[in-house]
Structure 1
Amino acid sequence: MEPGRVLDGRYRLDVALGSGAQGSVWRGHDLRLNCPVAVKVATLHNHPGRGETSEELNRRVARFRKEAQAMARIRNRPHVAVIYDHGEDGDLLFSVMEYIEGSPLSDHTGHGRQVTLEQTVRWTRHICDGLADAHDVGVVHRDVKPGNVVIDGDGAAKVIDFGLARFADSSSSHGPGWGTLHYASPERLREESGSALSDLYSLGCVVYEMLTGWTPFGHLSDPYTVLWHHVNERPAPPSALRPGVPRPLDALVLKLLEKAPGDRPAGARAVDRAIQQIEYVPDNAADPHVDIRHVAEIRDLERFIQRYADGPRATDTDVLDARARHARLTGESGDPRGAAALCQRLGQDCARLLGADHRRVFEAYREASRWKEGVG
């Protein structure tokens, strides 16, 4: 499909953002309202090798329409990308969603990359809010993963790609409808239909990755071995890979990753309530905790750093000061390891941009050492 195609006489496809076996996602433009949109497109043809009948195809299309209509009832919610429209154009089925300016969570984590504890609890709460809004109208995502969560310019997380998730999961027995293997629940891997509790298992995999840099069984490369472990093996707690994870957060992640759906939390809002209890512990708490009193300033600093740290202003005093304060507040919020990593990165960037003998390099590495000592 080429850029410039206009669907239903209204939605112009401008730039392909990604594609998969089930369709593609485009940044588009609503010609009627003159605003950017995200357009998800799938063909109405049978999937190769599936032998899907016309009756099965009709069921998939009807289910997609029903769920698009359900998602369209969610309005003015901050953590879910809502559907504005859906329809057909020739051999294409499409849904139109709000376009979110930002980057996928997969750009921040995975392959050993961790995010701070404060970011983990903040974004987990946002994802829970988005999932709960969808579950309230009877829509199960079925493919919760970092690539389907966007971090916007305000540092907030939004869940995307509801429109095609269930549509891609035909009731036909031809081919698996797991979602994405490293985030798939045991029941989905057994090719059961799954439920909102299946989304919670996938959420557990996402939180595990934010904390450790890896999915629960991300050290395994063989797909069938990964599948077997999801169905049969309990993963190591996140704290085994990242010391300093608060014990309640450790326990919540393992609860989300229970094999039996009934052993998981009762719903996304229950997970949100559990996260709220983790977010604040009094100053005299001996155990690791996450203190959210700095969250507003941390988010402001994130926005400022994201705007300027990789551009021509990277060595400006206010940008370097913002990065140093961001690291310090990260440590004060209960994450000394995260603070040390941010200081280490600041020191490396200063050495590269300003020279190894610059005082900023010394200051950043000194702070990194201080926070490392605080880990114990």
Structure 2
Amino acid sequence: AAAAPAPGATATSLLRRYRPLQTRAAGGFGSVEICLDSRLQRRVAIKRMPLASPDAFAPAETVAQALTEARTASLLQHPHIVSVIDFTYDAAYAYLVMEYVDGMSLEEFLAAVDGHSLTYDEAAAVADALVQALSFAHENGVLHLDIKPANVLIDRNGHVKLTDFGMASLASAAGFGGARGGTIGYMAPEQLRGETVDERADVFSLAAVLYESLCATAPFRAATPADSEKRIERGVVFPSDLLPGIPQAAEEALLSALSPLPEARMASVPAFGDRFLSGLGDVREGRKSLARLIARLTSDDADAEEDEPAERAARVWELDPQKGYLGSRTDRARPLLHGAVTAVSVGWACWALLGSGGVTEPAGRLVVALAVGAASFAAPQIGSALLYCGLA
């Protein structure tokens, strides 16, 4: 393999095209910069990750293997996975150029909303998107292993995307955190112990995120892996004790997926999703609610947040192919359109029928036709009855 470029060399070439605008996150394992792509005039997010921890020695072969896995995982293309535009590295850092998601993370969202939790509709929207993203990744042989609220992004349209595929293995290889590739509080016990993991580890992490999103508490968050594992063995408070209205199927799915024993969990993410989403809430309504809240929480104009919520809510709608354009905008569109078509049809038939019956006075014919049409608009069966009587 070719030698890695000198430290900073790749960054210099990147910055020729991408102009930094804002730092969104900075921590021990990397930072995230919002940048402007000077060629395509669009915003991107660039994540810079150090390839060696100052407190640990990482063999070059291990880091190289992790880089290969991270680059492969980042190639996943799915509507609910953050797209990766470019991936490169030098001797000191790896750089991940990703699409910019204009919104906020689930972690930021939960911290900002009242109750620090999601409604059932909102939880259904988040769960549906994450189940689709993880199912696609697993079908392509990729585990995430670091599912947490900070890696779940929600844009201004209420669309949910999962990010940082492949970063768990890179963090572990670089010697960061001692968390064995994930985040303490969301990792399955077998991952905490450094054992072999499969799809059921992602099922556990997904359930932990959804439990926190509904119940406003992270049940396994702790300072050390050992403390987190003890909490997992102890089990969680039943969701129904905190949320009396939660559907039984959703509660059973969470309790099963959060089992400390992998064999007691669902074998796949779709199996978990089918049980958890059964009767939980309306996914479409959840996306609309998320869009309204994200727009309000990320607004730069404080006055607009207070004075224009109704206007913003009216603009948030989504096309439903079954209901059509008007039906997607308002639930009353179909009966109103039905009544209007009926009124015009019955009114015109009444006008023609009066003329055939010898009523030649236009004003009289118009009054009767309008009256019968109005009755048809209110109740089509009334107009039909009047028209039938006139014909008889």
Asked if TM exceeds 0.5, the reply is yes
Deviations 1:27-54 (A, max 9, x none): 123333332211111223x3222233xx
Query: Which residue does 1:226 correspond to in 2?
Result: 228
Unaligned runs of 5+ in 2: 1-6, 317-392
> d(CA) in 1 for partners of 2:309 and 2:176?
55
SS at match of 1:151: strand
* Alpha-carbon distance change, 238 to 164 in structure 1, aligned in 2, over 3 angstroms: same
Q: Is 1:27 aligned to residue 34 of structure 2?
A: yes
Q: Is 1:49 aligned to residue 55 of structure 2?
A: yes
* Alpha-carbon distance change, 193 to 170 in structure 1, aligned in 2, over 3 angstroms: farther
Percent identical pairs in the alignment equals 28
Query: Which residue does 2:353 correspond to in 1?
Result: none
- Say whether the 8 Å CA contact 1:110–1:215 is kept in structure 2: no
> d(CA) in 1 for partners of 2:300 and 2:57?
52
> d(CA) in 2 for partners of 1:7 and 1:165?
26
Deviations 1:83-109 (A, max 9, x none): 222112453211211111110101222
Q: CA deviation at 1:131?
A: 1.6
Q: Pick from 16, 21, 41: which aligns with 2:23? A: 16
Unaligned runs of 5+ in 1: 280-289, 327-376
* Alpha-carbon distance change, 91 to 10 in structure 1, aligned in 2, over 3 angstroms: farther
> d(CA) in 2 for partners of 1:322 and 1:13?
30
> d(CA) in 1 for partners of 2:244 and 2:283?
20
| Aligned residue runs from structure 1 range 72-83, under 5 A | 72=75, 74-75=76-77, 77-83=78-84
Query: Which residue does 1:206 correspond to in 2?
Result: 209
- Say whether the 8 Å CA contact 1:125–1:275 is kept in structure 2: no
- Say whether the 8 Å CA contact 2:71–2:87 is kept in structure 1: yes
* Alpha-carbon distance change, 101 to 16 in structure 1, aligned in 2, over 3 angstroms: same
- Say whether the 8 Å CA contact 2:250–2:278 is kept in structure 1: no
SS at match of 1:15: strand
- Say whether the 8 Å CA contact 1:14–1:29 is kept in structure 2: yes
* Alpha-carbon distance change, 100 to 309 in structure 1, aligned in 2, over 3 angstroms: closer
- Say whether the 8 Å CA contact 1:217–1:226 is kept in structure 2: yes
- Say whether the 8 Å CA contact 1:25–1:39 is kept in structure 2: yes
> d(CA) in 2 for partners of 1:21 and 1:196?
27
SS at match of 1:61: helix
> d(CA) in 1 for partners of 2:125 and 2:177?
39
> Match for 1:162: what amino acid?
F
- Say whether the 8 Å CA contact 2:85–2:97 is kept in structure 1: yes
* Alpha-carbon distance change, 320 to 140 in structure 1, aligned in 2, over 3 angstroms: same
> d(CA) in 2 for partners of 1:308 and 1:18?
19
Q: Is 1:185 aligned to residue 171 of structure 2?
A: no
| Aligned residue runs from structure 1 range 76-115, under 5 A | 77-89=78-90, 91-109=92-110, 113-115=116-118
- Say whether the 8 Å CA contact 1:81–1:97 is kept in structure 2: yes
Deviations 1:1-21 (A, max 9, x none): 99xx64445344442221232
> Match for 2:44: what amino acid?
V
Query: Which residue does 2:304 correspond to in 1?
Result: 313
SS at match of 1:87: strand
- Say whether the 8 Å CA contact 2:84–2:99 is kept in structure 1: yes
> Match for 2:65: what amino acid?
A
Please report the RMSD computed on the Cα atoms of aligned residues, expressed in angstroms. 3.3
- Say whether the 8 Å CA contact 1:117–1:211 is kept in structure 2: yes
Q: How many residues align?
A: 304
Q: CA deviation at 1:81?
A: 0.3
SS at match of 2:81: coil
| Aligned residue runs from structure 1 range 142-157, under 5 A | 142-157=145-160
Structure with higher RCO (Cα < 8 A, 6+ apart): 2
SS at match of 1:203: helix
SS at match of 1:182: coil
Scaled by the length of structure 2, what TM-score is found?
0.68
Larger radius of gyration: 2
> Match for 1:21: what amino acid?
G
* Alpha-carbon distance change, 296 to 153 in structure 1, aligned in 2, over 3 angstroms: closer
> Match for 1:34: what amino acid?
Q
> d(CA) in 1 for partners of 2:176 and 2:82?
30
> Match for 1:319: what amino acid?
P
> d(CA) in 2 for partners of 1:303 and 1:48?
38
Scaled by the length of structure 1, what TM-score is found?
0.70
* Alpha-carbon distance change, 237 to 245 in structure 1, aligned in 2, over 3 angstroms: same
> Match for 1:129: what amino acid?
Q
SS at match of 1:166: helix
